[in-house]
Amino acid sequence: MHYIRISDDPINIAPLYRKLVDPRYGGIDIFVGTVRQWTGDIETRKITYSAYQSMAERQLAKIAAPIEAQGGRVVIAHRTGTLNLTDIAVFVGVAAVHRAEAFKWCQQVIDTLKHEVPIWKKEYDTDKVRWGN
Amino acid sequence: MQITIKLFAFLQDQLGPTVTVELDSPVTVEKIFSAVAKQSLAIKAVLENSRLAVNQEFVSENELEITPTDEIAIIPPVSGG
């Protein structure tokens, strides 16, 4: 069963990783997104994430469902609140029988998340404040 | 029909967490966006790139069957991850 969490609490990788460990699986692919300092010439100091939490959780569950239906396991954690440079904003972990599915599904989850899940970042850059996208 | 619409991100910064508008039936996506657009010129560009969600699902059809208990939200371009 998938695990999805959107929270102000810092993301701790170890317990999320443990949720993916299972003798059925031979491959675990993990993507960790962190707060980057530079985007071209723009320097970021911190980012505040906000979410339409109930809908975001629902959309994430929809992303996880077809993967779980094919035998994979999906663990997603996304931060809200204010994050500093290098803080973890998102954790996506997918466990699968073989590595090919693990890689493919993990990328599918993070790519879909970035387009379909109502979470927003507000970047506090050195020159101004920007809403993402 | 009076409809309260949830707003997020830049739209929330500009107009607050919700706006309430009065719309004639049938309620359409266009009518909702047009009513919200009248609240502020500053939101025009973002609104043009936003989507509507009803009961936490994106909607694509224009004409909507809305009841007073439905949860309506405008979703500006997302930027999680």
Q: What is the rounded distance in angstroms from the CA atom of residue A118 to the CA atom of residue A5?
A: 14
B36-70 pLDDT, tens per residue? 999 999 999 999 999 999 999 999 888 888 888 89
Q: Which of A30, A127, A123, A133 has the alpha carbon at shortest distance from A85?
A: A123
Q: What is the rounded distance in angstroms from the CA atom of residue A11 to the CA atom of residue A13?
A: 6
Chain B residues whose CB is inside 8 A of the A114 CB are: 78-81
Asked if A89's CB is within 8 angstroms of B79's CB, the reply is no
Model pTM score: 0.96
Q: What is the rounded distance in angstroms from the CA atom of residue B75 to the CA atom of residue B53?
A: 7
Chain A residues whose CB is inside 8 A of the B13 CB are: 131
Chain B residues whose CB is inside 8 A of the A121 CB are: 79-80
Structural domain that includes position B50: 2-75
CATH number at residue B61: 3.10.20.30
Number of independent structural domains in chain B = 1
Asked if A89 contacts A78 with a C-beta cutoff of 8 angstroms, the reply is: yes
**Is pLDDT of B25 > 90?**
no
Averaged pLDDT score across all residues of chain A: 97
A12-53 pLDDT, tens per residue? 999 999 999 999 999 999 999 999 999 999 999 999 999 999
Asked if B81's CB is within 8 angstroms of A120's CB, the reply is no
With respect to residue B81, please indicate whether it lies within any of the assigned structural domains: no
pLDDT at B61: 83
Q: Which of A90, A87, A80, A36 has the alpha carbon at shortest distance from B9?
A: A80
